[in-house]
Amino acid sequence: MEKVLVTRLRELVYGPETYSPETPGRDATLFESELDQLEEYLRGGMLDVIMVPAHGLLPAYSHRLINSDYLVLVETEGSSDTSGEREPVTVRELAEQELILARNGCGITRTVHSLLDEEGLSLGRSEVEVANCSTLLSWVGKGMGSILLPERNVTPGLAYRRILREDGTYAEMFNEMIWDPGSQDAVYLEALSRKLAASCE
């Protein structure tokens, strides 16, 4: 999950704009893991709320979209020739790339699978598979394949290309908070998610 979202969430729990009606002294323990495990822990009651890329999972739970960003392609070969945004790449062209991806528990990997499935295309993958999304940038410039990132996570000075769908729109990643509507803290989590989404506008 993006560090800026984690920072904003911590500020809402602990900072000067703490939101905790009727129950002061709220606490939060942050746990980072692959999506599959986070979803399992939420279903099992071991987590109160998760922040994950939105993929229509857990339909019986409460959801709130928090933010979105364009998903972009960073081509490792010649990526430093021209910095900033370049001509977009179509989804079909993306399928022809050798992509370095994290395991399927990574939101980027799930998003690109969904994107290609929408257009009936198969995924081209590099032989390299990394442990998690946070290490993708370290592969830029190694000539092993290209990577996908949310646009705001691209290091200044790198060239990147937005991904153009068949319908003319750009591919995006949407992040959401999910919680159990039957939780004793559901009212608090609903308000917390609303404030977090508002802070990202």
Residue 88's contacts (CB-CB under 8 Å, 6 or more residues apart) are 161, 162, 163, 164, 170
Among 14-18, 59-63, 75-79, 109-113, name the one with the lowest average pLDDT.
75-79
Residue 60 has pLDDT above 70, yes or no: yes
Q: Judge residue 99's burial from the number of C-beta atoms within 10 Å of its C-beta, 0-12 exposed, 13-18 middle, 19 or more buried.
A: buried
Confidence (pTM)? 0.81
Among 37-46, 127-136, 191-200, name the one with the lowest average pLDDT.
127-136
Q: How far is CA 61 from CA 46, 135, 158, 198, in A?
A: 15, 30, 39, 21
Confidence of residue 48 (pLDDT cuts 50, 70, 90): very high
Q: What is the C-alpha separation between 3 and 9, in angstroms, rounded?
A: 10
Residue 71 has pLDDT above 80, yes or no: yes
Q: How far is CA 91 from CA 29, 80, 97, 107, 171, in A?
A: 38, 23, 10, 18, 9
Please state the rounded mean pLDDT for residues 186-192: 91
Helix (H, G, I), strand (E, B) or coil at 160: strand
51 or 77: which leads in pLDDT: 51
Residue 155 has pLDDT above 90, yes or no: no
34 or 64: which leads in pLDDT: 64
Q: What is the C-alpha separation between 148 and 126, in angstroms, rounded?
A: 12
Q: Any idea which residue has 């081209």 for tokens?
A: 124
Please state the rounded mean pLDDT for residues 86-106: 87
pLDDT given at position 161: 94
Among 25-34, 81-90, 102-111, 158-167, name the one with the lowest average pLDDT.
25-34
Q: What is the C-alpha separation between 163 and 143, in angstroms, rounded?
A: 21
Domains present along the chain, CATH in parentheses: 3-65+175-199 (3.40.190.10), 67-173 (3.40.190.290)
Which tokens belong to 119? 């257009």
Amino acid at the residue 5: L
Residue 59 has pLDDT above 50, yes or no: yes
Residue 80 has pLDDT above 50, yes or no: no
